[in-house]
Chain A
Amino acid sequence: MARLLLSRLFQVLLVMMAVTAVAFIIFRYVGDPVNIMSREDASVAEKAELRAALGLDAPVIVQFGRFVGRVAQGDLGNSFRNQRPVAGLIAERLPATLELVLVATLLALLVGIPLGVFCALRPHGWLSRSIQAVSLVGISTPTFVTGIVLILIFSVWLKWLPSFGRGDVVRLGWWTTGFLTTSGLRSLVLPSITLALFQVTLIMRLVRAEMLDVLSSDYIRYARARGLPSGYIHRKLALKNALMPVITVTGLQIGALIAFAIVTETVFQWPGMGLLFIQAVSFVDLPVMAAYLLFVGVMFVTINMLVDVVYAIVDPRLRTAGQ
């Protein structure tokens, strides 16, 4: 257990180093900050002065050290476009994205697991075959197409649900939540469905495959031979075992969801980090790009590590192996 944790921590450090280095490179070398920040008619002397003021005349390794130092203090510079501290911008956008991802994940689990179980229990029924076929369409449809179609049907045609934004949000300290207002909840419906759709398919297919695997194992055959009721076998034994990998994948997919939220947020004008990032990309707003990368990097490795640890705690085999 301890060894596993240590090796994971080492890997986290490694990833963070790499990500910080990339962020630094973006920050420092992609587009000369001096040229970006100085007037077009600035003199050479003025530029040199600015260069010194920004600390860009120091050796690269010193600059990198300073960059790491600043990042560690949460100072990620100012956005070129919004002209505000990047850390603040990200903090402001974070709740929107996390709430969207949370709802989408829950939705994916609530829909995906039952469908997967159903398909595994009746692998040859027409219904599960149709579900399977539809799921293939699901992973073949790009998120943005799903989003546009949903907006057309539910916002424009039926006028049931809002098509953009977060609705009214309630401020809880620095966090803003859309969970506490009707308009906030209504606004969540379409984007979270859009974001969850791909995950539903993934989880469904995974649960089905795992269930089929487990159901054909000796252990279940033995349980059947003992004459245990099939409901008990399916629920208590098979599903429990089949859900193990689902935990891992769902955990890992949270990272992917944060990234895919970029697309969903663009379609629905959802004021989260993804929208911030995509606008930074089209406006070449380097500090925001670098900061987003750093932030998402931290997020991903943390999630990955947590998943590993949870998995180790839950899975007895890994636990004994660790000891």
Chain B
Amino acid sequence: MMAGVVAILLILASVSAPLIAPSNPLDLASFNLADSEIPPVWAEGGDKRFLLGTDNQGRDMLSAILYGARVSILIGGGAVLLAALIGVCLGLLAGYLGGRTDAVIMRIGDIILSFPTILLALLVAGMARAVFPEAGNPRYVPFVLISAIAIHDWVQYARTVRAAAMVEGAKDYVKAARVIGLPPLRIMFRHILPNVMSPVLVIATINLAGAVLTEATLSFLGVGMPPTYPSLGTLIRIGNEFVFSGIWWIALFPALALVILVLAVNVIGDWLRDRFNPKLRVRQ
């Protein structure tokens, strides 16, 4: 329960960051170098304007974290949506059509699943940089990251949906629908899809936590969001450079925010899983 409330509050807070954050850290004009490295408000030297202090550029940490979490959630959520979309479509196709389509889709899936997310994501992000020099541009990085994560995650949806589609496809009502000549697409989306939505939701929740972590890792490694458009991972990467100089708040707060966010999503995921589908286990 707690986790649910925390997660929803956090997600709401970050998605509405532009409304509630004290300032906009993405606007280079909004912060002032003269305000750099002010400690949190309760520490000595704190400033009422900056609840959680400021970073080395004078950005308000609270705003940076809210916006950073927003970037993290948008990318994580985007990746989950894209993966679910691809996975559901391919899974339906494979399950409903069977035969060669099924074999090709599922073999590709097998190959992809034999690589861990982080490796594929790094590879996609790295290749994108090599092909389009512009891929490092803050405007395009989110899309690169979303595809980098989704390229791995769609397989799980496809597998689940395929299995369900095969079961449903053999049932009488679908057979009947075929007999009366309903177009296959309509059968797939109107009749089969609603029956496979709950496992898809569960997987999506569990994957959201993973996707947020993957994005943070990529940004921490320096192939994710750039410092002018930071996600939580980028903030931790920057803060990491300052952990020895007594400016602990730059690293600590983003790291805490990330752990709490992922933890909350994970708890919800666990709960959903137990509730809807006790057989599904945590998979990477």
Contacts and interface: CB of A to CB of B under 8 A. Distances in A.
B126 A284 contact: yes
B123 A289 contact: yes
B130 A15 contact: no
Q: Which of B114, B130, B233 has the most CB of A within 10 A?
A: B114
B114 A144 contact: no
Interface string B139-164: 00000000000000000000000000
Contacts of A304: 114
Interface string B238-257: 00100110000001000100
A300 B112 CA distance: 11
B125 to A, nearest CB: 7
A256 B152 CA distance: 13
Given A137-B259, A278-B221, A289 B126 contact: yes
B107 A30 contact: no
B262 A15 contact: no
A280 B221 CA distance: 12
A154 B258 CA distance: 23
Contacts of A286: 130
Contact of A259 (B115, B209, B213): B115
Given A141-B259, A281-B122, A284-B126, A206 B114 contact: no
B148 to A, nearest CB: 11
Contacts of B216: 142
B267 interface: yes
Give chain A's interface secondary structure class: helix
A277 interface: yes
Given A18-B111, A300-B115, A148 B244 contact: no
A18 B270 CA distance: 35
A145 interface: yes
B64 interface: no
Interface string A118-142: 0000000000000000001101111
Interface in A8-42: 11, 14-15, 18-19, 26, 30-31
Contacts of A31: 130-131
Interface string A43-78: 000000000000000000000000000000000000
Contacts of B116: 255-256, 259-260
Given A14-B107, A141-B259, A263 B266 contact: no
B281 interface: yes
Given A30-B131, A205-B282, A296-B119, A156 B244 contact: yes
A306 B244 CA distance: 45
Contacts, number: 110
Contacts of B259: 137, 140-142, 145
A281 B217 contact: no
Contacts of A152: 243
Nearest to A206: B281
Interface residues of A, number: 46
Contacts of A189: none
B220 interface: yes
B94 to A, nearest CB: 17
B127 interface: yes
A14 B111 CA distance: 8
Given A136-B266, A286-B130, A263 B221 contact: yes
A277 B122 contact: yes
A290 to B, nearest CB: 10
Nearest to B129: A284
A282 interface: yes
A68 B106 CA distance: 25
Contacts of A301: 114
Contact of A136 (B213, B217, B222, B263): B263
A136 B111 contact: no
A148 B131 contact: no
A223 B159 CA distance: 37
Contacts of A190: none
A272 to B, nearest CB: 14
A206 B281 CA distance: 8
Nearest to A151: B243
By Cβ-Cβ distance, the 5 closest A-B pairs, closest first, are A281-B126, A140-B263, A259-B116, A140-B262, A259-B119
Interface of B: 107, 110-111, 114-116, 118-119, 122-123, 125-127, 129-131, 209, 213, 216-217, 220-223, 233, 236, 240, 243-244, 251, 255, 258-259, 262-263, 266-267, 270, 281-282, 284
Interface of A: 11, 14-15, 18-19, 26, 30-31, 136-137, 139-145, 148, 152, 156, 202, 205-206, 209, 253, 255-256, 259-260, 262-263, 266, 277-278, 280-282, 284, 286, 289, 293, 296-297, 300-301, 304
